[in-house]
Amino acid sequence: MSTLTLRQPPGAGAGRLLDALPAGLDGAGLWRALGSEDLLAPVYRDRDPRHGIDPVALGTLLTELDRNCSLGSTLAVTVPLATCLPLLGSGTGRAAPALAKALRGQCVVALAATDETAGCDLASLGTELTVDDDGLYLSGTKRWITNATTCDAALVLARHRPGPHFTNFTWVLVPADAPGVSAEPADTHLFDGSGTGHLSFDRVRLGHDHVVGGRGRGMSAFAAHIATERLAGALWAVALCERTLRDTAQYLRERREGGGTLWQREGIRQRYASALLRARQHRALTGSLTHAVAARRDSAAAATLKASAAATVEEVLDVCAHLQGAHGFRTGGPQALRAQAALFGIGGGTTEVVLSIMADAAPEALAGDRP
Ligand SMILES: Cc1cc2nc3c(=O)[nH]c(=O)nc-3n(C[C@H](O)[C@H](O)[C@H](O)COP(=O)(O)OP(=O)(O)OC[C@H]3O[C@@H](n4cnc5c(N)ncnc54)[C@H](O)[C@@H]3O)c2cc1C
């Protein structure tokens, strides 16, 4: 097993571009800017999403996005980058031109898996695909979807047969302006720039060439590609925690107290160091499991990274926000960040879901048969 040394910013082309972009650009605008500057394709091996992710390039881009953009905007780039484009790469028909346009930043693609039903039980989803000789009809509702209000197209996971069997599900690529498609923003002041909202499909007429990856392959494709999204989340968590720790150390060194600064209080230094330790552990774990996910889409390794990212972000942001006192509540400060970063334990599979995957794989992991 190879290990990964995560590259540090600055230096990537994305850093220079992001510095030059107008402040407050939303995630869709960011996607278009990155694509037009050819900064999306290098995230994939051989610049091809079908060949998998280049984790060093992805980590570098995510670090730059985290440094420059809101959490919501970074989310809006991460989901299509890690999941939608590789999924489109598994398809033919309409998927191929959409993938080419997306790589150039000319098409923002949303990933619409979570339904009105419990997201943790994906196999209970109700969005239906009715198939006839001439084409397909799509009906249903997807809730809490990143890029829902800003996308040009959505990859929608639907069922073409009743029941939970994993072969009953199919991905379809749905143009956002197709008759019967509507989007509304989610009722939240969080995740600014992410375009998060709900998508409804009212007997949307599609051709057979809108199916992506083959009928009945929806769930297996989801399982394969969500592993990459979980790796992306782990890499992003490294960047987010280290940035917040750096900002907090600076605040503590400058904050006058008694005859010195807060940084000189041993209790504060020890609390800070415990958060730093957690962040270092997560970085090391990410380095050791990246290859298994990037090269083999190992689901247990991806679940381990997701569980670690969620717990680490929660602990580090909790400590850092508290140590900044009232200053932590400023607009864009660590208290607001903390509320949004709880998404690391929810989106793309809750902590409970990924812990169950880890438990299933425990015998092999403890026998040394898995990373
Ligand atoms: C900002 C944001 C962006 C999102 N973007 C996307 C997107 O782009 N695409 C997409 O498809 N989805 C997206 N989601 C949805 C996300 O993936 C789901 O919220 C997630 O899968 C959990 O589903 P749920 O919210 O329906 O929770 P539920 O399934 O209703 O579960 C609620 C809680 O119950 C507990 N729970 C549930 N089942 C179990 C169990 N079996 N064992 C133990 N505990 C359990 C967990 O604590 C869980 O948090 C997004 C969500 C948010 C908040």
Q: How far is the CA of 347 from the centre of ligand 1 (A)?
A: 6
Please tell me the predicted confidence (pLDDT) of residue 6: 39
DSSP class of 44: B
The angle formed by the CA atoms of residues 29, 31 and 37, to the nearest 5 degrees, is 105
341 Cβ inside 6 Å of ligand 1? no
**What gap in Å lies between CA 52 and CA 73, rounded to an integer?**
23
Q: What pLDDT is attached to residue 21?
A: 80
Q: List, for residues 165-175, the tens digit of each pLDDT value.
A: 999 999 999 99
> β-strands 256-257, 260-261: how paired?
antiparallel
Token couple for 48? 């091809």
pLDDT of the residue at 8? 41
Task: Indicate left, alpha or beta for 14 from its phi (over 0: left) and psi (-120 to 50: alpha).
Answer: alpha
Characterize 63-97 residue by residue with b for buried, 16 or more Cβ atoms within 10 angstroms of its Cβ, and e for exposed: bbbbbbbbbbbbbbbbbbbbbbbbbbbbbeebbee
Q: Does any ligand 1 atom lie closer than 6 A to the CB of residue 348?
A: yes
Return the percentage of the chain with pLDDT > 70, whole number: 97
Distance CA 66, CA 243 (A): 8
The answer to whether the predicted template modeling score (pTM) of the entire model surpasses 0.85 is yes
The answer to whether the CB of 352 is under 6 A from ligand 1 is yes
Q: With a 6 A CB cut-off, is 146 part of the ligand 1 pocket?
A: yes
Flag the least confident range among 15-19, 149-153, 237-241, 262-266: 15-19
Q: What are the C-alpha distances in Å from 215 to residues 40, 101, 164, 168, 292?
A: 28, 24, 15, 8, 28
Question: Is 350 a residue whose pLDDT tops 90?
Answer: yes
**Whose alpha carbon is nearest atom 44 of ligand 1?**
352
Strand spans (E) along 221-357: 256-257, 260-261
- pLDDT one-digit tens code per residue, 284-302: 999 999 999 999 999 999 9
Take atom 25 of ligand 1 and give the residue whose Cα is closest: 119
Q: How far is the CA of 198 from the centre of ligand 1 (A)?
A: 14
Cα-to-centroid distance, 173 and ligand 1 (Å) = 22
Q: Which two tokens stand for residue 212?
A: 């992506």
DSSP code string of 49-72: GGG-B-HHHHHHHHHHHHHHS-HH
At residue 371, the pLDDT reads 75
The DSSP output letter for 185 is: E
Determine if the peptide bond prior to 10 is cis (ω within 30°). Answer: yes
- C-alpha triplet 244, 288, 245: angle, nearest 5°: 10
Please check the confidence at residue 261 and state whether its pLDDT lies above 80: yes
First to last CA, the chain: 8
Interval 13-72: pLDDT, tens = 777 888 878 777 899 999 999 999 999 999 999 999 999 999 999 999 999 999 999 999
pLDDT of residue 19: 81
CA atoms of 53 and 65, how far apart (whole Å): 17
Kindly indicate the confidence band of residue 12, based on its pLDDT and cuts at 50, 70 and 90: low
In testing the pocket of ligand 1, which one of 350, 354, 356, 358 has its CB within 8 Å of the most ligand atoms?
350
Instruction: Please give the domain boundaries of the chain with CATH numbers for all domains.
Output: 13-103 (no CATH), 109-214 (2.40.110.10), 219-366 (1.20.140.10)
CA 162 to chain centre: 29
